[in-house]
Amino acid sequence: MHYSLHTNTLHTKKIAFIINPISGGIAKTNFNDLIKKVLDKNFVIETFLTERANHATEIAQNLLKTDISYIIAVGGDGTINEVAKVLTNTEKIMGIVPCGSGNGLARHLKIPLEIANALSFINKKISEINDNSTDISKQITIIDTCTLNGNYFFCTAGIGFDAHVSAHFAKAKARGFWNYIKSTFHIFKDFIPETYHLEMQTADNQEIKLSKVAFSLTFANAAQFGNNAFIAPQANISDGLLNVCLVNPFPKWMMPIFGVRLFLKTIDKSKFYENYLVKKVTITRQKAGFCHLDGENYTFEEKIMVVINPQSLRILA
């Protein structure tokens, strides 16, 4: 379902909003009114509402065939993932109006979290772009993207403890930060770390091989999971390198300390934490199991390959 707010085709700044109406439990009934109020009147705007899982991807694929320059994802990290994987390696420019539980990518890129402020941010960025100029580096950020067994993610992906929490959270009736914390404690009490075999390729094409029993393995493009929980505090989303964050098993009594470290950006100071900067990593585990991509739960086979795609997505940020 979609409709146009402006139809004057004489103007060249064409924008499409792909809106997840149920993301983050945030009502969007007045969203179109906000667009009319905040965005410049000379923009050509279309809005699309998603109706099911992966619908945002279908809409974005159709928009690739149009002359719309800016495609804005309105939703959480899952919705952003659905849109971003279509726009990767294209000339389209993506925008984000964060409306999710974690909003990890938006937080990393310092995009305002309040809807009206995010729209103002987008309006300012697009207004500053000169249609006749090829230099738009001040208005957009070109970020790296990643794939895990061919499936895109843009913020973080992971196996081990975090993936099990994501799987439990996906079944919860309610969303939100505190329900995620509940899932964390539910999984933690009985969680048993697995053994992983890693083969990593560094920036200078050196090979690193490890066999580890790990509490969790996170593949971080951005610095945080979301909600300002920083698993890779030093991550640079545009450096062409992936942070492989390995958390070794630790005493159960230290769980609250680990939680505090995530929010204080000091997890990398823990003796149980290891970080590797790589272009590619292959992981072999004992059996197929859970994996999360940008917070969404999946199941993958025993062997997993994660690859960085440098400078492949253009975002208003």
Among residues 89, 110, 138, the one where a domain terminates is 138
Tokens of 253: 């009594």
Both structure tokens of 27 = 């009502």
Residue bearing tokens 């580096």: 137
Predicted confidence at residue 11, as pLDDT, reads 41
CATH code of the domain containing 211: 2.60.200.40
Is 155 in the same domain as 264? yes
List of residues 6+ apart from 251 with CB closer than 8 A: none
Task: Say if 146 falls within a structural domain.
Answer: no
Residues 137/93, Cβ–Cβ less than 8 Å: no
CB 78 within 8 A of CB 96: no
pLDDT 10s digits, 178-188 = 666 777 777 88
Residue among 148, 158, 191 at smallest CA distance from 297: 158
Determine the structural domain holding residue 158 and report its residue range. Answer: 151-311
**Does residue 317 lie in a domain region?**
no
Q: Are 189 and 203 in contact (CB under 8 A)?
A: no
Q: Which of 291, 158, 159, 308 is nearest to 221 (CA)?
A: 308
Tell which residue, 18, 93, 94, has the closest CA to residue 57: 18
Measured on CA atoms in the order 99, 35, 81, 238, is the torsion positive or negative?
A: negative
Pair (109, 173) in one structural domain: no
Give per-residue pLDDT as tens, 173-212: 666 666 667 777 778 888 899 999 999 999 999 999 999 9
> What is the structure's pLDDT at 101?
80
Shared domain for 178 and 122, answered yes or no, is no
Question: How many domains does the chain divide into?
Answer: 2
**Same domain (yes/no): 202, 236:** yes
* In-domain check, residue 100: yes
Q: Are 313 and 88 in contact (CB under 8 A)?
A: yes
At residue 6, does pLDDT exceed 50? no
pLDDT in tens, 245-288: 999 999 999 999 998 999 999 999 999 999 999 999 999 999 99
The whole-angstrom separation of Cα 137 and Cα 113 is: 22
24/94 same-domain check: yes
Structure tokens at 101: 């539980």
Nearest to 66 by CA among 91, 35, 32, 31: 91
